[in-house]
Amino acid sequence: NAGVTQTPKFQVLKTGQSMTLQCAQDMNHNSMYWYRQDPGMGLRLIYYSASEGTTDKGEVPNGYNVSRLNKREFSLRLESAAPSQTSVYFCASSNPLAGGKDEQYFGPGTRLTVT
Amino acid sequence: GENVEQHPSTLSVQEGDSAVIKCTYSDSASNYFPWYKQELGKGPQLIIDIRSNVGEKKDQRIAVTLNKTAKHFSLHITETQPEDSAVYFCAASMVSGGYQKVTFGIGTKLQVIP
């Protein structure tokens, strides 16, 4: 049981290049999320997928697109990378319970640098 | 939307002492308050959580308190150990747009000095 896996672990892009961050979970969770983590700003939600077949914008969606490929996989795409997208990206998954409890399981992160 | 403020941003304590991290939230609709611990180079991991109908919860050396009226909640770590050194995030969560929306604080870097 690997939990949440992310690839790649590190990536350096030039401004304008594109790339896709991959995420997979093996816990049969319905919901999946992409966050970015920047110093002094905590974790900010980029996109989420409440269930297979649905995706919605989070707090900071501009410059990103997502695909919920199946129940296990949720990818994040940067079409034209900008230096402002330099960050650490985390994928998470959960099965929200009635009454509000929603433990999110995070992957190890992808450290992206855009030059 | 929800706004979560967390302080202090950094905290240094001697091994064996207690550490307290405080958070406030703005939206009374928030009903679930998790705390996550993030070790260097890893993703955050849930360490304790509390629902809005509970005032206090304890798990060994870790406890969380919630004051709904004042909209603040706190994490207490007693008898700190070097392995408690990490970044801790509080969060407030509510149902919004059909999903459980989580808003995180900015994090507290805890250093336990041996």
Q: Per residue, what are the HEC states of chain B?
A: CCCEEEECCEEEEECCCCEEEEEEECCCCCCEEEEEEECCCCCCEEEEEEECCCCEEEECCEEEEEECCCCEEEEEECCCCHHHCEEEEEEEEEEECCEEEEEECCCEEEEEEC
Q: What percent of chain B has pLDDT over 90?
A: 83
* Shortest CA gap A88–chain B (Å): 10
> Which among B45, B52, B107 has CB closest to A42?
B107
- Which residues of chain A have a CB within 8 Å of the CB of B33? none
Q: Work out the widest C-alpha separation in chain A, in whole angstroms.
A: 45
Taking an 8 Å cut-off on Cβ atoms, the answer to whether A106 and B43 are in contact is yes
Taking an 8 Å cut-off on Cβ atoms, the answer to whether B104 and A42 are in contact is yes
Judged by average pLDDT, the poorest of A9-13, A75-79, A99-103, B8-12 is A99-103
Where residue B97 falls among pLDDT bands split at 50, 70, 90?
Answer: low
Q: Which residue has the higher pLDDT, B65 or A1?
A: B65
Q: What percent of chain A has pLDDT over 90?
A: 79
Q: What percent of chain A has pLDDT over 70?
A: 97
Which tokens in the block code for residue B109? 């870097």
Termini Cα distance of chain B: 41
For residue B68, which phi and psi values (nearest 5 degrees)? -65, -35
Whether A53 and chain B come into contact, CB under 8 Å, resolves to no
Instruction: Write the pLDDT tens digit of every residue in A63-75.
Output: 999 999 899 999 9
Instruction: Write the pLDDT tens digit of every residue in B5-49.
Output: 999 999 999 999 999 999 999 999 999 999 999 999 999 999 999
> Which among A96, A99, A101 has CB closest to B99?
A96
Enumerate residues 44 to 83 of chain B having a beta carbon within 8 A of any beta carbon in chain A.
44-46, 49, 51-52
Taking an 8 Å cut-off on Cβ atoms, the answer to whether B104 and A4 are in contact is no
Q: Compute, in degrees rounded to 10, the torsion defined by CA atoms A103, A109, A113, B4.
A: 20
